[in-house]
Amino acid sequence: MAHARDPIADLRRIAFLLERANEATYRVRAFRSAAKALAGLSAAELTERAGNGTLTELAGVGDVTARCVAESLAGEEPVYLRRLVATEGSDLDAEATALRAALRGDCHTHSDWSDGGSPIEEMALAAVELGHEYLVLTDHSPRLTVARGLTADRLRRQLDHVARVNAALPEGFRILTGIEVDILADGSLDQDDDLLERLDVVVGSVHSGLKDERSKMTRRMLTAVANPHLDILGHVTGRMVSSRPAGVTGPGDRGHRARTRAESDFDADAVFAACAEHDTAVEINSRPERQDPPKRLIRRAVEAGCRFAINTDAHAPGQLDWQRFGCERAALCGVPADRVVNTWSAEHLVAWTHSRA
């Protein structure tokens, strides 16, 4: 035990850094409460409980704080603390800029074939102007009728159309085929397997039953994440933090004004662990009204070892420039550029998705 750190001091340090970064109060409180609960234990009891995994039986100690304590006692700087220290005081603006510059494409976009506002050609030309090497077209799947989701037949026609559009686009740029497929209530994906197989990139998102209870939502997401066709888990919590920007329409929103929506409830650590295990990327959705996942969950996905995709979910050409927002949040959470799949070339990206399905 000679090299053990002081776990209570580590928990307090984490709380301090979270406060300084203006994180949610309850998050800070989790570390302060754990520090307080553990301060009453003898060193021997603390070591014993860390060893047999019973720290979480104490009021105020959760999985994350217990893990920090175990790491401290093993003489390691807790991963959670290390990430906070790595991002504090660094030039986040420069980091976000570097991350944005490293992105070579966008893996979540919509055209007027579903609920986007513009033809595929216009989306592609805007992407070329932004300096992208590729744009993944991910219109909605059949059951999202409110967003004019594409039936299998319409999707096949879209694939033919994309091939024609690609032939006319500048060298060095291409539209990759894709879909934003609904994750259905049982966790299955709302499109034919042969089509999912054929597409370059499959983003899967939950659009219904967002208020379902925790165990049901967790099961649904775990089933989807384990599906080898699913490459990227889209807007993970489904939250809406603010009203939709002026002039922007989207699924289920026509005719409605301001609305917000709470995060759906699921076991995020289990879902992120599954994403890491199955090599499914977690989307950082750049839309200002979504900002999904929230920063505390991005940090947990980083800890879990997940890959990421920083996407715009653009429904109009100008929105393709929203990647900067996602990059800022990624930089704040210490997302390394080499874990972001859209920093890869189109060839690398497609090799990855096809190696999985």
Contacts with Zn ion, residue ranges (CB under 5 A): 180, 205, 313
**Phi-psi region at 202: left, alpha or beta (left = phi > 0; alpha = psi -120 to 50):** beta
CB of 13 to Zn ion, least distance (A): 38
87/138 with CB nearer Zn ion: 138
CB of 283 to Zn ion, least distance (A): 10
CB of 190 to Zn ion, least distance (A): 12
231/313 with CB nearer Zn ion: 313
Which residues make beta-bridge pairs with 292?
285
320: phi then psi, degrees, rounded to nearest 5: -65, -15
CB of 30 to Zn ion, least distance (A): 30
Give the up-direction half-sphere exposure of residue 106: CA atoms within 13 A in the CB hemisphere.
32
CB of 115 to Zn ion, least distance (A): 8
237/343 with CB nearer Zn ion: 237
Q: Which residue has the tokens 């004004």?
A: 257
- Cα dihedral sign for 56, 58, 62, 66? negative
Q: What is the CA radius of gyration of the chain?
A: 22
DSSP-assigned letters across all residues of 98-121: HHHHH--EEEEE--TTTT-SS-HH
CB of 107 to Zn ion, least distance (A): 11
71/292 with CB nearer Zn ion: 292
190/313 with CB nearer Zn ion: 313
Q: What is d(CA 211, CA 214) in angstroms, rounded to the nearest whole number?
A: 9
Do you find a cis peptide bond into 119, omega within 30 degrees of 0? no
Q: What 3-state class would DSSP assign to 323?
A: helix
Q: What is d(CA 163, CA 156) in angstroms, rounded to the nearest whole number?
A: 11
31/113 with CB nearer Zn ion: 113
